[in-house]
Amino acid sequence: MKKTRPDFESPYWAVPKKQSGLQLMETFFQFNELDVSKERLSSIMNYAVKRNSRIHEDPAVIFQFHQSMRSLIWAGYLIMLKERKWTVNTRSEKISPLVLGLLSEKEYRNPLLVFKKAFREYTLKEFDYFLSGIVYFSMGVYDNLPERNIVMPYIHTVKMLDAAHLILQRKGEKKMADTNPE
């Protein structure tokens, strides 16, 4: 008799091969606002490094956020792989520091640089490990702290949120310009 192993990979976070990175980003921002996502990620990170405290949000909300962040990181990876197809709007106007957030001026002009730099330093598995780790340590009271440096993946993740939002915003501006020729 042939023994088969059950597949425990949930279809919720299994990314269909036909979806593009841009579609995944659009889906992420349909369910998550940028400022709320950054605040939630910051809160999870904060509780992950605190001893003897746990996050007070509903675990289902944290799990859903964890899964959607995984898909956003996967979307950034897909976009980075297909960077030759993207046209970058290199505007030469002066940019306010308030608009930049964590992004440098160069990254603001070309948001794909954020993904390239992030995936040059960390792999998808390392980002997944980071997200799982901060969620794990924020959900309970533990004596020990995460054993790896979690600050740099956190900074890259926040930058990816900004870059993904900027890409979608520019895509929307381009679509509006294409439909309203002057």
| Calpha distance 86→68 (Å, rounded) | 24
Listed in sequence order, the residues at least 6 apart from 37 whose beta carbon sits closer than 8 Å to its beta carbon are 65, 69, 161
- pLDDT at residue 160 in the model: 95
Q: Which of 61-70, 72-81, 155-164, 168-177 has the lowest mean pLDDT?
A: 168-177
Single-letter amino acid code for the residue at 62: I
Q: What is the CA radius of gyration of the chain?
A: 18
For 17, the 3-state DSSP assignment is coil
- pLDDT at residue 104 in the model: 85
What phi, psi does 48 have (nearest 5°)? -70, -35
Q: Categorize the per-residue pLDDT at 107 as very low, low, confident or very high, splitting at 50, 70 and 90.
A: confident
Instruction: Give burial (CB, 10 Å; 0-12/13-18/19+) of 139.
Output: middle
Residue 77 corresponds to which tokens in the numbers above?
């990876």
- pLDDT at residue 12 in the model: 47
- pLDDT at residue 83 in the model: 66
Give domain limits for the chain. 34-48+57-80+99-175
Q: Categorize the per-residue pLDDT at 10 as very low, low, confident or very high, splitting at 50, 70 and 90.
A: very low
| Calpha distance 55→121 (Å, rounded) | 29
- Model pTM score: 0.79
What percent of the chain clears pLDDT 90, i.e. is strictly above it? 43
Q: Categorize the per-residue pLDDT at 170 as very low, low, confident or very high, splitting at 50, 70 and 90.
A: confident
SS3 helix, strand, coil % of the chain, rounded to 5? Answer: 65, 0, 35
Instruction: Please identify which residue in the block is written with the tokens 């794990």.
Output: 136
Mean pLDDT of 4-29: 66
Question: 33-61 pLDDT, tens per residue?
Answer: 999 999 999 999 998 888 778 888 899 99
Q: Which of 22-26, 44-48, 126-130, 178-182 has the lowest mean pLDDT?
A: 178-182
Asked whether the predicted pLDDT for residue 97 surpasses 60, the reply is no
Q: Between residues 108 and 93, which one has the greater pLDDT?
A: 108
- pLDDT at residue 88 in the model: 52
Q: Are 45 and 65 in contact (CB under 8 A)?
A: no
Single-letter amino acid code for the residue at 50: K
